[in-house]
């Protein structure tokens, strides 16, 4: 099937083209869209792409971090100042996929994919979006919840506050390590105040149709210490709010069974 | 609508007209005529279509051909120089690293990307480099040994 390919030098032009046509899809790295094109998916009539270098920017400081939606997993791995995200990027496909896969694309990857989006959810990221309305920003939780409700908006980047040293943790449970498809993934931001958790953020991948926050576990961790007794209440409510599905990787039942085990290990820093 | 695309293929300038939405794999095989690139899944899953674009490994089946304009593409067709096989090819033969052979082009290019960047990789790095390439004959051990042997040979050339 032949589709139209429209290339624009500026993000705004691409966003306008995307919102103007029902069958238009934005080309990030191609790992999702090219599969659809190869399968002659009738939902793809036009590929919109942009060569705007702003899409690939990485603005890393000690405070806030801004990542262009077109930045690849390989670019993340090449940036020393993003070392805390390397364990996440390294689990996404093999080297060839990581050269193509983008941050923006990962935000649209359906479960059981989307491990980077899971990490961004735990980091409380803000998603920058361009559309027919102009520019706007949206908290990632809200973005992911409404992601599949339609609307052809162009995600231009994400931003978040750099997590405190050693406060960000990530694990991906896969049958093939490290790059297999997720049975589940867990990202957690665990800030400590006087040795106790204050404002934890925990996100699950592959435990719903899009990455979700583990709010019951977050609440149960508040004011607790990261030891066996301290994390026990959070582990007890680990699966609250999660709605995993059966797929070729694992059953929903299995995902629920192993989630508390891996959450406990992550919180205690025991690895997977 | 067909679009003209110009790129370097194994050091030679190539111009081709590609269909809208064409992937690089189909463009190379059907338009340019480089049949050393194999197609397996057309989903970015199996790795047999691995080529190098500007030195980095990429999956040709999920690479939009139009994005390759002005880029440098390497395939297995460019490994051999005259009668001489590339050290990786020699090592694959000597270590029985090709069984059915279908994954071999992708394995060779993934390995070349690694050795061009890191001439003396560790075994772990070799495993990581071919982590996106599936061998359904499950011949991974000979493949890993062959890549390590090629790295030890020390006379690789970069294309």
- Please report, for the domain that includes residue B117, its CATH number: 1.10.150.120
Give domain status of residue B91, yes or no: yes
Q: Give the structural domain span for B31.
A: 2-78
Instruction: Say if residue A126's pLDDT is above 70.
Output: yes
- pLDDT at B94 exceeding the cut of 70: yes
**Residue B35 and residue B68 in one domain:** yes
Q: Are residues B149 and B100 in the same domain?
A: yes
Residue A59 has pLDDT above 80, yes or no: yes
Residue A272 resides in a domain = no
Lowest mean pLDDT among A120-124, A126-130, A132-136: A132-136
Domain assignment present for residue B159? The answer is no
Is the Cβ–Cβ distance between B37 and B15 less than 8 Å?
no
pLDDT surpasses 70 at A178 = no
pLDDT at A2: 83
Residue A203 near residue A217, CB atoms below 8 Å? no
Distance CA A180, CA A211 (A): 17
| Residue A192 in domain | yes
pLDDT tens string A149-171: 766 789 999 999 999 999 999 99
Residue A49 distance to chain B (closest CA, Å): 10
**A and B: number of Cβ contacts within 8 A:** 88
pLDDT of amino acid B120: 96
Asked whether residue A18 falls in the same domain as residue A58, the answer is: no
In this structure, the answer to whether residues B20 and B58 fall within a common structural domain is yes
Percent of residues, chain A, with pLDDT higher than 90: 89
Is the domain of B95 the same as that of B45?
Answer: no
* Cross-strand bridge partners of residue B13: B8
Quickly count: other Cβ atoms within 10 Å of residue B86's Cβ: 21
Number of folded domains that form chain B = 2
Chain A nearest CA to B110, separation (Å): 8
Domain ranges, residue A132 = 53-161
Task: Tell me the C-alpha distance between B19 and B35, whole Å.
Answer: 18
pLDDT at A270 over 90: no
Identify whether residues B65 and B6 lie together within a single domain: yes
Which chain B positions have a beta carbon within 8 Å of A92's beta carbon? none
* Judgement on whether residues B31 and B73 belong to the same structural domain of the protein: yes
- How does residue B156 score in pLDDT terms, banded at 50, 70 and 90? very low
Taking residues B14-43, report their average pLDDT.
96
Total of domains in chain A: 3
Segment A77-123, tens digit of pLDDT:
999 999 999 999 999 999 999 999 999 999 999 999 999 999 999 99
Residues in A lying within 8 Å of B, measured between beta carbons: 1-5, 7, 27, 30-31, 34-35, 37-39, 44, 47, 49, 74, 93-97, 99-100, 178-179
CA angle A66-A72-A78, nearest 5°?
80
Instruction: Give A185's pLDDT tier (boundaries 50, 70, 90).
Output: very high
Question: 3-state class of A77 per DSSP?
Answer: helix
Quick count: other Cβ atoms within 10 Å of Cβ A34?
A: 26
Q: How far is B79 from chain A (nearest CA, A)?
A: 19
Choose between A178 and A223: higher pLDDT: A223
Tens digit of each residue's pLDDT (9 = 90 or more) over B39-79: 999 999 999 999 999 999 999 999 999 999 999 999 999 99
pTM, two decimal places? 0.94
Average of per-residue pLDDT values in chain A = 94
Q: Is residue B158 part of a domain?
A: no
Mean pLDDT of A68-82: 97
Residues B61 and B101 in one domain: no
Give the pLDDT band of residue B159 (cuts 50, 70, 90). Answer: very low
Tell me, yes or no, whether A22 and A60 share the same domain: no
Claim to verify: residue A155 and residue A173 sit in the same structural domain: no
- B73 with B96, same domain: the answer is no
């Amino acid at each position: 099937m032949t589709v139209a390919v429209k290339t624009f030098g500026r993000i705004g032009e691409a966003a306008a083209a995307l919102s103007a046509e029902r069958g238009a899809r934005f080309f990030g790295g191609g790992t999702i869209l090219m599969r659809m094109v190869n399968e002659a998916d009738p939902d793809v009539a036009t590929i919109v792409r942009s060569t705007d270098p702003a899409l690939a920017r990485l603005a890393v400081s000690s405070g806030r971090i801004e990542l262009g939606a077109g930045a690849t997993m390989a670019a993340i791995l090449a940036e020393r100042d993003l070392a805390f995200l390397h364990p996440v990027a390294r689990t996404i496909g093999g080297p060839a996929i990581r050269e193509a896969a983008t941050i923006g694309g990962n935000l649209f990857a359906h479960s059981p994919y989307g491990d980077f989006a899971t990490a961004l959810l735990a980091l409380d990221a803000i998603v920058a979006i361009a559309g027919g309305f102009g520019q706007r920003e949206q908290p990632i939780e809200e973005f992911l919840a409404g992601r599949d409700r339609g609307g052809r908006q162009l995600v231009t980047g994400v931003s978040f506050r750099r997590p405190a040293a050693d406060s960000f943790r990530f694990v991906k449970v896969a049958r093939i390590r490290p790059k297999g498809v997720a049975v589940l993934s867990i990202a957690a931001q665990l800030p400590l105040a006087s040795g106790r958790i204050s404002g934890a953020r925990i996100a699950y991948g592959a435990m719903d149709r899009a990455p979700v926050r583990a709010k019951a576990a977050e609440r149960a961790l508040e004011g607790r210490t990261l030891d066996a007794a301290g994390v026990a209440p959070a582990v007890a409510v680990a699966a609250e709010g999660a709605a995993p599905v059966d797929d070729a990787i694992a059953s929903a039942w299995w995902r629920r069974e192993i989630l508390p085990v891996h959450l406990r290990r992550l919180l205690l820093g025991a690895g997977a | 609508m067909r679009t003209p695309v110009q790129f370097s293929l194994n050091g030679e300038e190539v111009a081709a007209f590609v269909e809208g939405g064409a992937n690089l794999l189909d463009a190379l095989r059907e338009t340019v005529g480089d049949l050393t690139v194999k197609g397996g899944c057309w989903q970015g899953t199996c790795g047999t279509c691995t080529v190098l674009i500007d030195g980095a490994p990429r999956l040709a089946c999920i690479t939009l051909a139009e994005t390759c304009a002005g880029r440098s593409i390497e395939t297995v067709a460019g490994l051999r120089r005259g009668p001489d096989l590339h050290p990786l090819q020699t090592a694959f033969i000597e270590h029985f690293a090709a069984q059915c052979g279908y994954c071999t082009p992708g394995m060779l290019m993934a390995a070349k990307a690694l050795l061009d960047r890191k001439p003396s990789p560790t075994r772990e790095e070799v495993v990581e480099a071919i982590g996106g390439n599936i061998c359904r004959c499950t011949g991974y051990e000979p493949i890993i040994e062959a890549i390590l042997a090629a790295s030890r040979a020390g006379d690789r050339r970069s294309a």
